[in-house]
Structure 1
Amino acid sequence: MTQQIELNGNISETQLGQRLDQALAECFPDYSRSRIKEWILAENVTLDGRIASKPREKVVGGEQIRIVAELEDEVTSRPQDIPLNIVYEDEDILVINKTADLVVHPGAGNMDGTVLNALLHHCPEIVNVPRAGIVHRLDKDTTGLMVVAKTVPAQTHLVSRLQARDITREYEAIAHGMMTAGGLVDEPIGRHPQRRTHMAVTEIGKPAVTHYRVAEKFRAHTRLRLRLETGRTHQIRVHMAHLGHPLIGDPFYSGRPRPLKGASEDLRNAIRGFGRQALHAAMLRLEHPMTGELMTWQAPIPDDMVKLTELLRTDTQEHGFDY
């Protein structure tokens, strides 16, 4: 499905010297700069009646703009009736509490059965929004809060706020080893040089910043509260492993868990059998893209992490540790 759009406007005098794609992105904030660049290259843009085909062209101010283009659906996946735990929804956005084992976006090995497929069923008009409105992702087995845009303007705004680091995302995690204090990890993350499905701290990676604090100390593990400043793939998992404190259950970065001396059979089984990284997106705070209202959501810690925490707490008390 495609829809033809026509946009008309004027370059402001204050935009003198700006690149054309930058100026148009400011004139038409409902559309991303990358989409506008595509329209310029496709010769869908005219300035004062002439075709403008160079995104780098400088504007002088006062030019009349006309854009005639086709807005194509960017989603080719099929709708599927997959339950979503929706914690908030209005005309512009929805917030979900993602369960474990649910992939966010189709990819190799997971072409359907994803959050995107579920969104297309729940909200069919979201097919007109790039990536079905998905603004940020959670790893497959990470649980917790995600915001989804239901309209192009809402998505454009949320993506820009995410890039400006104006959306707060806090996570709960359980890591191997006892950490004495919180801190900050400011280490670039990029593709692992040998294992291409993994990420790693690398000098040639993209900037990545994770804040963390100790929420609870156990005998040989730590419950953490973390806040993302950036959003790199596997960021928390990679940064915690880099510190020598990988997350319990992480199939990529934790390695083989060491036996915990003196632990109960229940605790040993719980650690050994924890089938996913112990990571949960617990809090999300943002300004509503249309109203500007500051909104906050909390997602309760999932049962598997609650049970593991209780076993670790009991073990710590039984061995005479008091933090």
Structure 2
Amino acid sequence: MKNYTLTVEEGRTRLDRFLGEALREQDVSREKIKRAIRDGGCLVDGSTCTDVSAKVGSGQRVELRMEAEPTSVQPEEGDLEILYQDEWIAVLNKPAGMTVHPAPSCPEGTLVHRLVARFPSLRAQEGFRPGIVHRLDKDTSGLICVALTEEARLRLSEAFAEREVRKEYLALVQGVPAPTGEVDAPLGRHPTVKVKVAVVKNGREARSAWRVLRKGRGYALLGVRIFTGRTHQIRVHMAHVGHPLWGDRLYGRGGQTLSPPVPGVLLKHDPAPRQMLHAWHLSFVHPFTGEPMAFTCPPPEDFVRTALTLERHMRRVVVTGVAGSGKSLFMRLLAERGVPVWSADAAVIRLYEPGQEAWLALRQRYGDRFVPDDRSPVDRKALAAALLPSAESGVDVRELENLLHPLVLDDLERFWSGQEEAGRGYAVAEVPLWFESGWSRKLCGEGKPYVVGVACEQGERCRRLLDVRGWSDAFMARMDGLQWTQERKMAGCDLVIPNSGTEAELRDKAAAFVREMDNWESESRSAFLTEWASLVNEPCPGVDESSEPFRRPCF
């Protein structure tokens, strides 16, 4: 015999409809309820009621007694990761991709089918959900508690109903929310999409709270505690506050592209194979022994891989220096070793070709001053002369720079974004006027590049400029006057590579630099995994580990 005692919370509705909705989670069909009412198994405020269409209203007490029928679920062999069991309960780690109990859309291959095979006593329980006192979505992994006897099921169900069970989940969400927060928003069926749940005005009470465990670049790892157990609760609540779960195709933001974009993070495709939600902590009082039970279960490998993908960002490297320092040779040596490289000078030449952005901008603003005709590229000599400090130029140098520099910077951003999308660990750009252009100030946030300076002793530098470029001392002094001194440039760099020796020596330094960049990527991954392990193995909160008895599996 199964007994249910319920209280009507608000409104007036048919008796069978009220009981059907209230017992939906218990796998009790409307037809069974109607049959029990007609057979005299229903009391309303202590009086027998056999009318299934009778109206019940706020505050009325409804009792329903039904004969229990053995489950018809057939046992299926399969793996179960059991973390704890005794004669009354078992705690398992459910894998992602497994449905908890049978349904019309999934009649076989569920967790319940395997449970019945592992624990034959469950077949004495009624319905298609024997032993199930709470559920996880198919694609949510983690801790789930199972009642092995009918009495244990009733007691645990009551504990869940009275909110005496503490549940906390790990969630990877888009963006970074406040360090802590709470969502108190009622949930109900989506008004137009049958398979979705939504925040609705007259929905059932639903409350969730989060804490940020780790802030990433465009994502966050949260611990989310739920105080109610509504369908899709965390997924809907986090989407409601603007931070949907990565991998959530139902409640996510479509292509999952970060908005606004974060420098160093470019994800055109969702890296998550499922919604990134894992039942992490579970604690409750044992229904028979009264012992405090607490369990912690780190997330599976796909969760970690997704976090690594989100965390991984390409290192943007800038190489700078004065003329004759050897920075262009250093870039060529990096390119020979397979490093993706970009040159501001080469970009300028490309942008000055007919029909390109800079060509069009100069043609529109200055007519044929720098663009002789529709078929010719920009006259670089005329443009260089105009950019020199000269009262006779007749051109506002600042205006000209403000016209051209953003176009070159956009080209650089496209280069870095393309390399990031291709999965590169780092990419190097040669920008001779990195500091003078003001780009170092514009890109000074999380996406700040790693700046490498190539330096050369003054005497050797002058010799190179004379032998290679034919620069006179006067012309050299004139060009040096257009940019920062070498000493000032190098003071602003993260790394300085001396280059007053031979090409072979610089080749060795380029090889050492490549090794340093490769090691940086490997060390960043190791540091992340170490920090990650310390976070996800955190003991179940709110439980005194020194108390006895205490249950928590070790991993």
Cα shift readout 1:140-185 (whole Å, capped 9, x = no counterpart):
0000000010111111111111011000011000001121321110
- Given the alignment of the two structures, is residue 114 of structure 1 paired with residue 113 of structure 2, yes or no? no
SS at match of 2:130: helix
Partner of residue 301, structure 1: 299
Structure with greater strand percent = 1
Residue type of the alignment partner of 2:112: L
Partner of residue 182, structure 1: 180
- Given the alignment of the two structures, is residue 72 of structure 1 paired with residue 69 of structure 2, yes or no? yes
How many angstroms does 1:254 deviate by?
A: 0.3
Q: Quote the sequence identity (%).
A: 38
Distance 1:82 1:102 in 2: 11
RMSD of aligned C-alpha atoms?
A: 3.1
Cα shift readout 1:252-301 (whole Å, capped 9, x = no counterpart):
0003211566547xx848x6241210000001101111111010011112
Distance 2:237 2:314 in 1: 26
Distance 1:229 1:38 in 2: 34
- Given the alignment of the two structures, is residue 135 of structure 1 paired with residue 124 of structure 2, yes or no? no
Distance 2:81 2:221 in 1: 25
SS at match of 1:272: coil
**Do the aligned partners of residues 164 and 275 (structure 1) sit closer, same or farther apart at CA in structure 2, a change above 3 Å counting?**
same
Partner of residue 12, structure 1: none
Distance 2:141 2:185 in 1: 24
**Do the aligned partners of residues 317 and 216 (structure 1) sit closer, same or farther apart at CA in structure 2, a change above 3 Å counting?**
farther
Residue type of the alignment partner of 1:133: G
Distance 2:197 2:85 in 1: 33
Partner of residue 241, structure 1: 239
Structure with greater helix percent = 2
- Given the alignment of the two structures, is residue 146 of structure 1 paired with residue 144 of structure 2, yes or no? yes
Distance 2:306 2:189 in 1: 31
How many angstroms does 1:246 deviate by?
A: 0.3
Partner of residue 257, structure 2: 258
* 8 A Cα contact 2:84 2:91, kept in partner: yes
Alignment counterpart, residue 87 of structure 1, candidates 83, 88, 104: 83
Distance 2:47 2:106 in 1: 44
**Do the aligned partners of residues 69 and 175 (structure 1) sit closer, same or farther apart at CA in structure 2, a change above 3 Å counting?**
closer
Q: Which runs of 5+ in 1 are unaligned?
A: 6-31, 45-52, 60-67
How many angstroms does 1:210 deviate by?
A: 0.2
1:1-323 map, 5 Å: 42-43=39-40, 54-57=43-46, 70-73=67-70, 75-130=71-126, 131-256=129-254, 257-258=256-257, 263=264, 268=267, 272-315=270-313, 320=446
Look at both structures and tell me which one has the larger radius of gyration over its CA atoms: 2
SS at match of 2:151: helix
Residue type of the alignment partner of 2:45: R
* 8 A Cα contact 1:93 1:150, kept in partner: yes
* 8 A Cα contact 2:264 2:315, kept in partner: no
Residue type of the alignment partner of 1:258: T
How many angstroms does 1:40 deviate by?
A: 7.8
TM-score (norm: length of structure 2) = 0.45
* 8 A Cα contact 1:41 1:54, kept in partner: no
Partner of residue 26, structure 1: none
Residue type of the alignment partner of 1:98: K
SS at match of 1:240: helix
Q: Which has the higher contact order (CA 8 A, sep 6+)?
A: 1
SS at match of 2:304: helix
How many angstroms does 1:303 deviate by?
A: 1.0
How many angstroms does 1:128 deviate by?
A: 1.6
How many angstroms does 1:55 deviate by?
A: 4.5
Corresponding residue pairs, total: 273
* 8 A Cα contact 1:172 1:279, kept in partner: yes
* 8 A Cα contact 1:37 1:55, kept in partner: no
* 8 A Cα contact 2:73 2:123, kept in partner: no
How many angstroms does 1:58 deviate by?
A: 6.0
SS at match of 1:105: coil
**Do the aligned partners of residues 321 and 148 (structure 1) sit closer, same or farther apart at CA in structure 2, a change above 3 Å counting?**
farther
Cα shift readout 1:108-137 (whole Å, capped 9, x = no counterpart):
321110011111111111012242110000
Distance 2:86 2:315 in 1: 46
Q: Which runs of 5+ in 2 are unaligned?
A: 2-25, 49-64, 317-444, 449-555
**Do the aligned partners of residues 241 and 316 (structure 1) sit closer, same or farther apart at CA in structure 2, a change above 3 Å counting?**
farther
SS at match of 1:138: coil
How many angstroms does 1:302 deviate by?
A: 1.2
